[in-house]
Amino acid sequence: MTEFRRPLGFEEALRPPIDVRRARITQPVLRPSGRAGDAAAYAQLARIIRRAPEVMVKVTGSTRDGDHLMRHLDYTSRNGSLNLEGPDGERFEGRAAMRVLASDWAVEAMLEPRGRRDRPLSRSIVLSMPRGTDPMRLHDAARAFAAESFGARFPYVFALHDEGGHPHVHLTVRALGSDGTRLNPRKADLEVWRQRFAQALRDRRVEAEASPRRARGVRCRAEPMPVRKMRERWSEQDGRGPRVRINSHQRNGPSQRTAAPWEAKQTERRERIRRWLTVEAIALSRSARREDRALGLALRGYIRRFSTLKDRQMTLIRPDD
């Protein structure tokens, strides 16, 4: 973006905590070198500053056999009311077509040389975006993502769910590939899938990002779904709260609070990222390009917000700060 080249320290904050080159199923998405890579880094930084919606790619489980797969396909297709789509655009309409598909995948698994009985028959993946995303564009982005990530190597079917205005796609992928490899993704594969899905959405003019939590100032993972459900049920009725919530208050209360060993490193990393962003904001504000100065101004506001974000423990200690 700027007229001269300089070290981009803030790129370390944008880099995923997992080395994507360790992906075993998919080829890593590597940023281009030179000025194209600098432009991509600045574009990602701008999306983070304006709080672009974050994509979610999650492996939700696996199936064991044909009957288990059929039950999962029933759920995905809403008992046959939704058509499932395959790699070449083929449609599986009704439960009879899905029963044939489940049987075919089960037979393929039985014919695997030296295959174990307890190996998964399929993997279940959910592709999701926050509420309000255009469902048709999300569906098309999921179609492109599946074709690029699995192609003809791993057969798959998928369907769009759009209940309650929260669109998401259920993708079922056969665990046995056509070349005999098994679909056993690592964390690096999941990171690559997030980046690919976000890019597929942006290609369809849907604002989306797949940034690491540390770049957004988030210090801990999202609250697990079972814990959140228990907390919501507790808040709707009187009585004793869930044990995990009570234990959190007891551990993190003002009198019992002790710093965990990993918190010092986390705080140090957070401060290092804030310094990188501050240096970049100053450099951008001195640029001759108007768009650079505008990005620098927005980055300064983001740094102020970044410095005030709290994790769950700090919220329990000082909820009103």
> What is the predicted pLDDT for the residue at 267?
78
Say if residue 28 is exposed, middle or buried (CB neighbours under 10 Å; 0-12, 13-18, 19+): middle
Task: Enter the tokens of residue 152.
Answer: 């003809």
Centroid of chain to Cα 296: 27
- Is 140 exposed, middle or buried, given 0-12, 13-18 or 19+ CB atoms closer than 10 A? middle
Where the chain has pLDDT below 70, the residues are 1-9, 33-34, 115, 219-260, 262, 307-321
In CATH terms, is domain 56-203 a member of 1.10.10.1100?
Answer: no
**How crowded is residue 128: how many other Cβ atoms within 10 Å of its Cβ?**
20
Sequence ranges of the domains in the chain: 56-203, 225-317
Q: Which pLDDT score, from 0 to 100, does residue 232 have?
A: 66
Q: What is the DSSP string of 210-276?
A: ---GGGGT--SPPPPHHHHHHHHHHHTS-SPPPHHHHHHHHHHSTTT----HHHHHHHHHHHHHHHH
Structure tokens at 99: 């029963």
- Which alpha helices (DSSP H) does the chain contain, by range? 11-14, 34-49, 66-76, 94-110, 135-149, 187-203, 225-235, 243-252, 261-285, 290-308, 312-317
The string of pLDDT tens digits covering residues 102-117 is 999 999 888 887 767 7
pLDDT, position 260: 66
What is the reported pLDDT for 316? 45
If you count them, how many residues does the chain have?
321
Identify the pLDDT of residue 215.
81
pLDDT tens per residue, range 21-55? 888 888 777 777 667 778 888 899 999 999 999 99
